[in-house]
Amino acid sequence: MCEFFTGDSSLFRPFFGQEQGPLRKLGPVSIAFLCVSAIVLAYMVIRMRHTRAHTANRRSHHALKTPMLVACSNCEAMHRPHHMCLDCGFYKGKQVMDLSTQKAKREARMQAKRDAISSQSGSEAESVAKAPAAEEVK
């Protein structure tokens, strides 16, 4: 684990000047601190702080770019190049999706949802209106 604690008991004897080496004036607490420090430094990744200019230069390419758009050959709506037009469903002059039926299905589904919400909110309003009347009778 640490070369200071390999079982050499001479490091922990009282120091009277007869010991040799760089650790002869250090006590056991200092030796333990050095051992822990050496272990921590062995596993740490020391990284230098980047300057603001270096950080800004790295981030200069992070900006969002405006998407490229082209006009549809069928409906003149703008869409991404090499993609189907989201308004009419055409790609390179050919219809690849029938968006009119999908839009009709979606509109029917949304209308049914609106009707369900309005009927549910109407029944809640009626139940709220009836509840105070029932309390007044008691």
The residue segments making up the domain with residue 34 are 3-43
Same-domain pairing of 73 and 89: yes
The residue ranking higher by pLDDT, 81 or 44, is 81
- 59 falls within a domain: no
Please report whether residue 23 resides in a domain.
yes
134 and 105 fall within a common domain: yes
Span 86-134, pLDDT tens digits = 988 999 989 998 888 888 999 999 999 999 999 988 776 565 555 555 5
Residues 111, 81 within the same domain? no
Tell me, what's the pLDDT at 47? Answer: 78
- Report the run of H or E that residue 110 belongs to, with start and end: helix 99-137
Question: Tell me, what's the pLDDT at 90?
Answer: 92
Decide if pLDDT at 3 tops 80.
no
Q: Does 7 map to a domain?
A: yes
pLDDT band at 49 (very low <50, low <70, confident <90, very high): confident
What are φ and ψ of residue 67, in 5° steps? -70, 145
Stretch among 38-52, 55-69, 89-103 having the lowest mean pLDDT:
38-52
- Is residue 27 included in any domain, yes or no? yes
Distance from C-alpha of 12 to C-alpha of 22, rounded to nearest angstrom: 14
pLDDT greater than 70 at residue 35: no
Whole-angstrom distance, CA of residue 66 vs CA of residue 54: 25
pLDDT at 26: 59
pLDDT for the residue numbered 129: 54
DSSP per-residue string spanning 122-136: HHHHHHHHHHHHHHH
Say if 49 falls within a structural domain.
Answer: no
pLDDT score for 8: 54
* pLDDT of amino acid 37: 66
Whether residue 89 contacts residue 98, with contact meaning beta carbons closer than 8 Å, is answered with yes
The model's confidence at residue 1, banded by pLDDT at 50, 70 and 90, is very low
What's the total number of domains in the chain?
3
Examine residue 74 and state whether it is found in any structural domain, yes or no: yes
